[in-house]
Amino acid sequence: MKKILFITLAIVISMAANAQNQVWDGTAEPWTHGSGTEEDPYLIETPQNLAYLAVMVNGEPGVALNHMFPDTCFLLTADIDLGGQNGLVWNPIGTCTHYSNSVGFSGHFDGGGHAISNMTVTNETSYYYNYYGLFGYAKEGSIKNVVLDLTCSIQLKDCYEYWGIFVGGVVGYGTQISVINCHSDATIEATETFAEMDQCSVGGVCGILWESSAAQCSFGGYIDCDAGSRYANVTLGGITGGVRGCEVTGCHNDGWIVNKTKTHIAGNWGGFVAGGIAGTAIGDLSVISHCGNNGRVEVEVNPEVYFEEGPAYSGGILGYAWGRTNSTLPVVEVEVRNCYNVADLSVNPVDDAYIHTAAGGIVGGVDTYARADVSNCYHVGGLTAEHTGGILVPAGDSASVTNSYFIDGCCCDNGFGEPQTEGFMKSAEFVSLLNAGGEVFAMDTDNVNGGFPVFADGGHFNVIENQIDGGGVSAYPNPAAGSISVVVNSGAEIGSVSLFDISGRLVKVQQSGFGSIDISGLATGMYVMKVTLDDGKVFEEKIVKK
């Protein structure tokens, strides 16, 4: 008991001493507290301590590789600033080059709910890395309670890899790991990025998960991917770009996801896929449950640079159930249960017989050699594509849909799911129907989900029209291309509205005419809107300029 009390006191003292955000200076320093056990974790008290973990795992001149730290525990004890505003580039913890010389983190990392800011990851330190994120490669361990704020970014430019490229805010490639209660508001941009033999997989939290789990994670940032793959897919997801034999539960996306083909990709045989929660499901059975999507998901196909046959799919929860490559492999299976999508999904129509475009409210597309089973789900957003389905768009008889519904008039009724009116989908009767005897969904009494059902355990996350700071101020539409309306939900008056880019630079301030603020002159991307009321209250919200 005395030992536990002493450990707890040491952690509290460490946290108090580091209450101020510490800025990384580019150096690495060993941790000085803890023994690495669950009861007495190594304390990561400074950015230099975190950088030292990267050095120990990745290696550098004079330091041996493969310090994977199996069964070793780490705890972040303070908010840290990784210095991206000062030009510092973060080297991911765990890495891989050409699928060889791989070194992965195998310990247990607890972010303590502390904010990590100004993390900048690029491919400038290595043209041939496979994995990018706070952690590049993690296996047989766990990562939990990590928070990346909206000043964090991953920026790949002119990035080529013969095998695959995997990018995630928290972890790029995870195999046999648990990712728990991790949240990312990062901006992820991949421009002129190409993976030759394997997929390019990008997720707000995880790039790809293999025989792993993600629980209670969320993404509220921005993903803008202009990439290609000659023999596989470019796949984006709010939580994870891809899953194989995984369980994803209690997760939510409120970010904006765009998968586009602008770059010249001669001989491309892969597809372009995006999903609110997961981009692609491959391999063994994966289960996605109790997840919601409020973020817009777009796939933009440019037929002038898209020469070969391939799919282009957008899905509210899962983008694509990607089938086996030949008849000797097992059929890919995925189950989606107790999920909802309330956002718009789109794939621009393309006049090309070789390009199949589809948008599905819950699952964008299901391959011939895959099977998707959807139950107790609903969709209420708009759908734009050559082929649409309120719940999913299958390639054949490769899907089953049970007790799942979509709003009447959003799309064609392809026989998967049942259309319902908006009024009925906001009623107690619909909640009871959707629950099918369970207690998963509840009435949206606080109007946090536009009146449509929310999770009964409070697992809803945001609103269709973003309510800043719990409802003090409303800002809509968001994302927007022109003007954003700003409305105070109390009797107070607005004193000023300021917009900051992700580096913290003030880009616009408005001190009159507060009905709306014009953002048409701003560059595409993520911003922070700060609303100051005349009673002294201040509200902040992420704004996306389309």
> Which CATH entry fits the domain spanning 152-409: 2.160.20, 3.40.50, 1.10.10, 2.60.40?
2.160.20
Q: Can you give the pLDDT at residue 399?
A: 87
- Tokens 């929660």 map to which residue? 277
**Strand pairing class (538-545; 506-510):** unpaired
Q: Can you give the pLDDT at residue 129?
A: 65
Q: Can you give the pLDDT at residue 403?
A: 97
Residue 319 pLDDT grade (very low, low, confident, very high; cuts 50, 70, 90): very high
Task: List the single range of 129-133, 360-364, 491-495 with lowest mean pLDDT.
Answer: 491-495
Collapsing DSSP to helix, strand or coil, 478 comes out as coil
The answer for 188, left when phi > 0, alpha when psi is -120 to 50, beta otherwise, is beta
Tens of pLDDT, residues 21-30: 789 999 999 9
Average pLDDT over the chain reads 82
Average pLDDT over residues 237-249: 95
Residue 5 pLDDT grade (very low, low, confident, very high; cuts 50, 70, 90): very low
Task: List the single range of 248-257, 282-291, 354-363, 399-408 with lowest mean pLDDT.
Answer: 354-363
Q: Where are the domains of the chain?
A: 1-128+136-144, 152-409, 475-545
pLDDT of 310 over the 70 cut: no
Same fold, 152-409 and 475-545: no
Closest alpha carbon to 340 in 255, 269, 251: 251
**Regarding predicted confidence, which is higher, 99 or 409?**
409
* Residues 255 and 298: beta-carbon distance below 8 Å: no
Q: Can you give the pLDDT at residue 461?
A: 40
Cis preceding-peptide flag for 453 (omega within 30 of 0) = no
Compute the distance between CA of residue 412 and CA of residue 321 in angstroms, rounded to an integer: 21
The sign one gets for the Cα dihedral 19, 204, 195, 261 is: negative
- Tokens 């490669």 map to which residue? 137
CATH of domain 475-545: 2.60.40
Tens of pLDDT, residues 517-527: 888 888 877 77
Q: Can you give the pLDDT at residue 264?
A: 45
The torsion of the CA quartet 279, 189, 529, 295, rounded to 10 degrees, works out to -10
Compute the distance between CA of residue 333 and CA of residue 348 in angstroms, rounded to an integer: 27
Token pair for residue 29? 């320093």
**Regarding predicted confidence, which is higher, 127 or 106?**
106
Compute the distance between CA of residue 132 and CA of residue 498 in angstroms, rounded to an integer: 32
Q: Can you give the pLDDT at residue 10?
A: 40
